[in-house]
Amino acid sequence: YEDKARGEDWVFNYGMFSFNTPHFIYRFVKGETDYELGVTRYPYFEGQLCYAWFLGLSADIEFDYFGKTGAQKIAGRELSAGE
């Protein structure tokens, strides 16, 4: 997500998981981990392979990356992990 007017560029990483999940190693080995959505500023990805997918979202969709848990809100609906 890039907001040129504010000079912000964000990366949405759909391949994150929490190592604090109970029995993480066991679940990881079995392929039963829940993926989470991580949001990071683009400069942290500089020099790394990063694919951009242009979603063509309308201007009324709001991304709220601020908050205690980093939860995202899309069109006013909070997303849960793995959604």
pLDDT in tens, 56-66: 655 555 554 44
CA proximity to 21, closest of 30, 33, 31: 33
SS3 content of the chain, % helix, strand, coil (to 5): 15, 25, 60
Q: What is the pLDDT of residue 25?
A: 92
The Cβ of residue 72 has, within 10 Å, a number of other Cβ atoms equal to 19
51, pLDDT greater than 80: no
79, pLDDT greater than 60: no
More confident residue, 60 or 25: 25
| Cα 36 from Cα 33, distance rounded (Å) | 10
